[in-house]
Structure 1
Amino acid sequence: MTALASTQSPSRAAAVQKIVSPGGIEAWLVEDYAVPIVALEFAFKGGASQDPIGKPGVATLLAGMLDEGAGPYDAEAFHRALDEDAIELSFSADRDLVSGRMQTLARNIARAFELLQLAVGKARLDSEPFERVIGQISASLKREVNDPDHVAARTFRSVAYANHPYGLPVRGDLATLPTLTRANLTDMRARVFARDTLKIAAVGAIDAATLAARLDDVFGALPAKSDLDPIAPIAFSGEGARHVVRIDVPQSAIRFGRQGIARADPDIIPAIVVNHVLGGGVFSARLFREVREKRGLAYSVWSHLTTFDHAAMLSGGTSTKNERAAESMAVIEGEIASLSESGPTEEELDKAKKYLIGSYALRFDTSTKIVAQLVHLQTEGYGVDYLDERNRLIAAVTMDDAKRAARRIFGDGKLLVAVAGRPEGM
């Protein structure tokens, strides 16, 4: 167990070194020689929200192409080089970030960073893998056309953030994917891959000096400044409306939500605790008890607080028989109204705080989880001290804090609801 995972450790933050390379590149490092493995993760600001107008999916396609040939290696040779030394390398894009992750045996550090450098700075974007990756994304989207869960989620997002990049599909859509070009990818890479928004974390059998030198090798030649399009802040819209997409399936997929609380808001910690009481994914959550256990309406039901760089929302979902969709939503809305009006009980508040504090260590029980958490904290603007402060902040949440946060996130109880299926009574 690492020092970051151990609940007995007096300070998780103390295990993290902040290093700066000779070229000025910053990273957070946790040295751990228990196993001879190194994990690294990094992220650039500017994900799918930077897709060109009318061309959603560019950031996702770029991420999918970075390990499909780089420098002197075509796609097949590049993957063979990774396999020969058991190096894991992958890239992804979400709404605000383009991210990469690497894992390697310590003895293969030099080769792993060499291949990472090629992928980040010299990805070839050749035509054959370009068409193949587009085909893979298109096949995935075609499978989801009649998947009620995906349809409900996509409809929900498009209404909540209409006429805004956050309302567009991260992976693009079937109508516009064929219009994406290699030039779109090279432009995205040139605008997004820059040192000013770069956040990096590494964990494992590597010292600060070695990591610093390798970081300059990989990222030192990137532009100093990114060229991101400004993204306007947007409020959640559609509260009180219901949107039904008819699909001939026996169950309806439901998405619901409303305006949330920004990650820098003083009430974000109480809001996290209150959301856990509502639908935090554990047996003690109200929605689990009322929707699943008491009434048998659904197998799974959840709620979540999401904070983007320029928006925030409370969202949730479930799937249920068509004939019980209206009843399920009535129960969900009733619990939200109750929490807004009265807040949680003392027992609920105590259980939520204990669970959130006790389960935090599970985010740090592997090297890959640790680097993911450290990069996540950096991209969301937290300092390393948050590793220690987080649980203390949760423990300090009072009933007054919880009631205030409940009133803010649940408000008048009006929800945007998107349903895919053949729901009765909706």
Structure 2
Amino acid sequence: MRILFCLFILLCTPIIANAQERVLDIQEVVSASGIKAWLIEDESLPIISLEFSFKGAGSINESLDQQGVSKLLSNMLDEGAGDLDSQAFQKALSDHSISLSFSGSRDHFGGQVKTLSRHKDKAFNLLSMALSSPRFDSEPLERMKKSNISRIKSSLTDPDWIAARLQNDLIYKGHPYAQNSGGTISTLELISADDLRAYKDKYLTRNRLIVSAAGDIDAKELALILDQIFQSIPENELSHKEVPFKPQTGTYLYSKDIPQTIIEISYPAFDRNDPDYYAAQVFNYIFGGGGFGSRLMEEVREKQGLTYGIYSGFSFLDQAQNLSISTSTQNDKVDDVLKIINQEIEKIQNTPVGGDELQNAKDYLIGSVPLTLTSTDKISGTALGMLSNARPIDYLDTYGDKIGAITSEDIQRVARRILIKENQTIVFVGQPQSAIKTNAITEIPNVQ
């Protein structure tokens, strides 16, 4: 009941570093074999959520001719293991109400299991089997290939997806991030079970592993379970490759006969360890990340009626960070939208944010933290995110004070650091009636 009580208090009062109750009462657990995990114990509900990630095991490792191998691996690990084929494995999950999933990102590869306490032995055994002895049988492999290829072909009709794909290629030009983490039509067709097994053995290793758990489990039991699940996973030599690259700045057009033009604007940013990280969160909420409360939404949608929506947001990858602005508008209104965006950039760079607007943004960011901790799996996911981003164990306890200390001068400094016109990359998808000179793009890379 302790976590639920803490959440009640958090929903009613600001987060403060000196609170008697920590936001999350995190324990560090170490198994007999040395596997570490963060645990948030809560016996109020008979539910356990365990999440894990293999740092640096994401699609950044894929070669051009194996794009999508980590995506297929995430699809296949729960499609049969040990003496259970795909159907039997899925039935075992269903019969015991166990949720088991795997996913990959550009940087990392991970998974989650969520189970009722009474089925924990079965759940953890199935997870152990999936990681140690996946089958990679031909029938589910072909099924997953077809599903992913179908997804790609369907995406080619979506102008928003096309714009994001093109933006990704331009801002990460020359870096593995520019590749398609979901695979291409040709590479997916050629990936074999041996390729999946080789990728798993090379990158899903114990020395990359981070783990979090939450719910109805104590430290002693978790220590035993960590070894049960992960001890058999090998340790391989870590390889870390920093790849230099230079974003392609300028304005680009992919012509498509649609009534509206999709607009993607991107600027290089800084990483989570930068002293301006917290100021950047407040800046983004005010500028374009705060939904209907943001300046961009107010000016472009509410006052001018030029779009259904306009948003800004940060992307923090291990080797690249960006701020993006995304919107769409009628083809003959593109220049009007860009003019307002530029006006708002100039305003936030040169005019101090007013006291009420600044305080409202800080109050929202501080007050939204408890809403990310309303279920067992959200709690374990938050803890894993902290581990993945190398945050200290008291990160949430100090978050409110750090956000609360942000000033209008901090907002201006961040805006000036990031929103530099010479560094911007703009992508149009559509048929914009614009006076802006564009570079034509005729093919979508890393798709076929």
Q: CA deviation at 1:337?
A: 2.7
Which secondary structure state, in structure 2, belongs to the residue aligned with residue 171 of structure 1?
Answer: coil
| Higher deviation after alignment, 150-159 or 264-273 | 264-273
TM, length-normalised to structure 2 = 0.91
Give the match for residue 44 of structure 2: 34
| Mapping for residues 166-177 of structure 1, pairs under 5 Å | 166-177=177-188
- Aligned residue type for 1:377: M
| Mapping for residues 23-62 of structure 1, pairs under 5 Å | 23-45=33-55, 46-62=57-73
Give the match for residue 2 of structure 1: 4
**8 Å contact 1:90–1:101 — kept in the other structure?**
yes
| Mapping for residues 356-371 of structure 1, pairs under 5 Å | 356-371=365-380
Q: CA deviation at 1:231?
A: 3.3
Q: CA deviation at 1:398?
A: 1.8
Alpha-carbon deviations, 1:294-328, whole Å to 9, x = none? Answer: 11111221111121111111112112222223322
Q: CA deviation at 1:2?
A: 2.8
Work out which of the residue numbers 254, 278, 283 in structure 2 matches 1:269. Answer: 278
Q: Which runs of 5+ in 1 are unaligned?
A: none
Give the match for residue 303 of structure 1: 312
| Higher deviation after alignment, 83-92 or 249-258 | 249-258
Which secondary structure state, in structure 2, belongs to the residue aligned with residue 329 of structure 1?
Answer: helix
Q: CA deviation at 1:194?
A: 1.2
Give the match for residue 401 of structure 1: 410
Q: CA deviation at 1:341?
A: 3.0
Q: Which runs of 5+ in 2 are unaligned?
A: 14-18, 437-448
**8 Å contact 2:24–2:40 — kept in the other structure?**
no
The CA RMSD over aligned residues, in Å, is: 1.7
Alpha-carbon deviations, 1:194-242, whole Å to 9, x = none? Answer: 122211111111111111111101111112345435132545x233x11
2:203 & 2:153 partners in 1: Cα distance?
Answer: 29
1:155 & 1:416 partners in 2: Cα distance?
Answer: 11
1:16 has 2:18 as partner: no
Equivalent pairs counted in the alignment come to 424
Work out which of the residue numbers 281, 291, 294 in structure 1 matches 2:300. Answer: 291
Work out which of the residue numbers 321, 324, 328 in structure 2 matches 1:319. Answer: 328
Q: CA deviation at 1:413?
A: 6.8
| Mapping for residues 351-390 of structure 1, pairs under 5 Å | 351-390=360-399
- Aligned residue type for 1:394: I
Which secondary structure state, in structure 1, belongs to the residue aligned with residue 402 of structure 2?
Answer: helix
Give the match for residue 358 of structure 2: 349
Which secondary structure state, in structure 2, belongs to the residue aligned with residue 242 of structure 1?
Answer: strand
Cα distance, 1:232–1:414 mapped onto 2, change above 3 Å: closer
Q: CA deviation at 1:13?
A: 5.2
Give the match for residue 164 of structure 1: 175
- Aligned residue type for 2:43: Y
Which secondary structure state, in structure 2, belongs to the residue aligned with residue 5 of structure 1?
Answer: helix
1:95 has 2:106 as partner: yes
Cα distance, 1:3–1:175 mapped onto 2, change above 3 Å: farther
**8 Å contact 1:343–1:406 — kept in the other structure?**
no
| Mapping for residues 182-201 of structure 1, pairs under 5 Å | 182-201=193-212
Q: CA deviation at 1:402?
A: 2.0
Q: CA deviation at 1:90?
A: 0.5
Which secondary structure state, in structure 1, belongs to the residue aligned with residue 7 of structure 2?
Answer: coil
TM, length-normalised to structure 1 = 0.95
Which secondary structure state, in structure 2, belongs to the residue aligned with residue 344 of structure 1?
Answer: coil
Q: CA deviation at 1:383?
A: 1.3
Alpha-carbon deviations, 1:227-283, whole Å to 9, x = none? Answer: 435132545x233x1111122222222211111111111111111111111111332
Cα distance, 1:344–1:169 mapped onto 2, change above 3 Å: farther
Q: CA deviation at 1:176?
A: 2.3
1:104 & 1:225 partners in 2: Cα distance?
Answer: 30
2:233 & 2:292 partners in 1: Cα distance?
Answer: 48
Alpha-carbon deviations, 1:118-146, whole Å to 9, x = none? Answer: 11111111111111101111101100112
Give the match for residue 75 of structure 2: 64
**8 Å contact 1:340–1:413 — kept in the other structure?**
no
1:14 & 1:97 partners in 2: Cα distance?
Answer: 24
**8 Å contact 2:268–2:423 — kept in the other structure?**
no
2:145 & 2:352 partners in 1: Cα distance?
Answer: 48
| Higher deviation after alignment, 221-230 or 112-121 | 221-230
2:69 & 2:152 partners in 1: Cα distance?
Answer: 15
Work out which of the residue numbers 66, 81, 97 in structure 2 matches 1:86. Answer: 97
Q: CA deviation at 1:393?
A: 0.6
Work out which of the residue numbers 261, 269, 280 in structure 2 matches 1:260. Answer: 269
Which secondary structure state, in structure 2, belongs to the residue aligned with residue 2 of structure 1?
Answer: helix
Give the match for residue 226 of structure 2: 215
% same residue:
36
